């Protein structure tokens, strides 16, 4: 029976490879996560979501799984995982695993068998097609892989191509095969019986492919024709038999279709991650506000209008996105204030907020040289650019893009202290540590009541204090066309929360409409030294933010 516990939860995402290394091999691991259970508990979150920790050859850092029932060697053992689960559960923190079932690794036993012969029992676990041309070595269609190159890879042994929408080492599973669907249900039940509290479902809308692969547009892959039927079946056979939270990565789902997918009783997803607000927005410079705040707000405000029968997931950062500073608010001398302003704007919207590791201390993008990139997407983009005519010029512009948007920015090691390698490892870190770790780290902020970390703790605590209002309250945008300020109210049972967040690096005058103002009242939270009085006409300092509790009458 689902209790919908996630409606009151704040979720903390952990990227295990970069979180904490316990054995000095330079790679984060499960024991390192367990060591930091008290830190996560002190933050006040209710659940952690782990990016994949299953056995994997790491072509795509764990999103290429070779064994769904075992742990990656670099991360530890299944016993280490069980100790980690116990550490979180004993602190009242739920654990969400990543479910990556659009594809496997090409080193998974299913694929090793599948490629042996066309008559192998596992052949139909994957998507195989004849090639074109007299020699049959031209790909079946012109689809492109997300990480570059053709989406088809020729297999010399059986003289056919297999489909891979991502890396060639990530062959797509054939969900039309009921045996595949049964295997996935058994995998889910394996982890749920061990105590997992839910799943984040990777590229879940991709699992169903168009009926005619030869003629279909690749756009038809993003939201396949039968994926909902498959998830409903999976819910009946596994997911709904436990008190789970199921959140899906759903890039192709727009707002109009979201309610049909996240509605209670649909047996699909409890929440979904959309991408509208993080798609290629120009980056703020140190001295210039974002020119896209209106669009940013318009998108988020739209998603706040989900019906009461649905529920939303809200986030600014994850392992696939560059850091929110300076992307959505200025950094530089205003970094701390901007990080707090973003935190307030995130945590008091309606929906379940997801905080990505390091976001709570205001970690920023990293300055990379070409050799510093580790993500397959970044490496392939540079490699592909160099192969073009005028390759050096193409690579230059590719790197300019990656400077702002590379997934690598989110994957630099967690900054725990000012010690060598930011306290992440006693060995050589698997990827570059951000050079600003001496100024931005947990140890520096833990005992500072004015730090970004302390602000997050207070804001999360206040969210729990006002849980009924935050969960059930209506969401009302305030001055939604303002190009500098992100402001809104939450209302429920005669109580009102007002959040005003300046996301500009300059002082801003802000007028509060009369419907939100009855009398002057002090803030319950602000990122300034003193409490801020609510008034009709406010002078906001650069990146200033505050939250007020007031009464209201209809």
**Residues in Cβ contact with 341 at an 8 Å cutoff, skipping those fewer than 6 apart:** 329, 486, 501, 502, 503, 527, 543, 544, 545
> H-helix or E-strand containing 94?
strand 94-99
Which of 361, 274, 288, 286 has its CA nearest to residue 321? 274
**Catalytic residue (one of 64, 202, 270, 320):** 202
Alpha helices in 201-275 (DSSP H): 219-222, 227-237, 255-262
| DSSP-assigned beta bridge partners for residue 96 | 49, 198
**Cβ-count burial 9-27 (b if 16+ within 10 Å, e if not):** bbbbbbbbbbbbbbeeebb
**Residues in Cβ contact with 145 at an 8 Å cutoff, skipping those fewer than 6 apart:** 151, 164, 165, 166, 167, 168
d(CA 234, CA 267): 9
- The answer to whether residue 336 is catalytic is no
DSSP 72: -
DSSP string computed for 165-180? SS-TTSPBB-TTSHHH
Which of 353, 337, 358 has its CA nearest to residue 39? 358
d(CA 139, CA 291): 43
**Catalytic residue (one of 249, 336, 360, 375):** 249
- The answer to whether residue 551 is catalytic is no
Neighbours of 480 (CB within 10 A): 14
Cα distances from 257 to residues 193, 253, 269, in angstroms, run 32, 6, 12
Residues catalogued as catalytic: 202, 249
């Amino acid at each position: 029976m689902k209790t919908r516990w996630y409606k009151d939860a704040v979720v903390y995402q952990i990227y295990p490879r970069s979180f904490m290394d316990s054995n000095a091999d330079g790679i984060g691991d499960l024991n390192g996560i367990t060591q930091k259970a008290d830190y996560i508990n002190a933050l006040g979150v209710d659940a952690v979501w782990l990016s994949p920790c299953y056995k994997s050859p790491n072509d795509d850092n764990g999103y290429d799984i070779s064994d769904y029932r075992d742990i990656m060697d670099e991360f530890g053992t299944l016993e280490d995982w069980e100790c980690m689960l116990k550490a979180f559960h004993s602190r009242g923190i739920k654990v969400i695993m990543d479910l990556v079932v659009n594809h496997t690794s090409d080193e998974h036993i299913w694929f090793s068998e599948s490629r042996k012969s066309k008559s192998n029992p596992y052949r139909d676990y994957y998507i195989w097609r004849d090639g074109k041309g007299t020699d049959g070595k031209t790909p079946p269609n012109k689809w492109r892989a997300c990480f570059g190159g053709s989406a088809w890879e020729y297999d010399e042994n059986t003289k056919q191509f297999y489909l891979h929408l991502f890396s060639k080492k990530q062959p797509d599973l054939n969900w039309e095969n009921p045996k595949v669907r049964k295997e996935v249900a058994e995998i889910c039940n394996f982890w749920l019986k061990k105590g997992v509290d839910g799943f984040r479902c990777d590229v879940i809308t991709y699992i169903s492919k168009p009926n005619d692969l030869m003629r279909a547009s690749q756009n038809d892959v993003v939201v396949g024709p039968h994926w909902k039927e498959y998830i409903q079946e999976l819910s009946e056979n596994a997911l709904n038999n436990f008190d789970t939270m199921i959140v899906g990565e759903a890039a192709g789902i727009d707002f109009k279709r979201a309610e049909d997918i996240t509605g209670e009783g649909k047996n699909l997803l409890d929440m979904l991650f959309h991408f509208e607000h993080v798609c290629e927005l120009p980056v703020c410079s140190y001295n210039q506000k974002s020119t896209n705040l209106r669009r940013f707000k318009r998108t988020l405000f739209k998603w706040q209008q989900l019906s009461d029968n649905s529920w939303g997931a809200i986030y600014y950062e994850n392992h696939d996105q560059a850091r929110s500073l300076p992307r959505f608010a200025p950094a530089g001398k205003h970094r701390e204030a901007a990080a707090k302003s973003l935190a307030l704007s995130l945590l008091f919207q309606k929906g379940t907020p997801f905080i990505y590791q390091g976001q709570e201390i205001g970690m920023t993008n990293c300055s990379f040289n070409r050799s510093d990139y580790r993500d397959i997407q970044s490496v392939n983009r540079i490699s592909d650019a160099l192969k073009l005519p005028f390759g050096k010029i193409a690579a230059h512009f590719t790197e300019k893009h990656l400077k702002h948007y590379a997934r690598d920015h989110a994957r630099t090691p967690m900054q725990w202290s000012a010690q060598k390698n930011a306290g992440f490892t006693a060995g050589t870190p698997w990827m570059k540590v951000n050079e600003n770790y001496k100024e931005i780290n947990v140890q520096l902020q833990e005992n500072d009541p004015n730090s970004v970390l302390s602000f997050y703790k207070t804001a999360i605590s206040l969210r729990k204090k006002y849980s009924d209002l935050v969960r059930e309250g209506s969401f009302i945008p305030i001055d939604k066309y303002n190009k500098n300020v992100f402001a809104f109210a939450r209302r429920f049972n005669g109580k009102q929360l007002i959040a005003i967040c300046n996301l500009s690096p300059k002082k801003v005058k802000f007028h509060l409409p009369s419907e939100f103002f009855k009398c002057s009242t002090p803030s319950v939270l602000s990122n300034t030294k003193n409490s801020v009085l609510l008034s009709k006409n406010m002078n906001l300092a650069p990146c200033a933010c505050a939250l007020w509790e007031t009464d209201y009458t209809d």
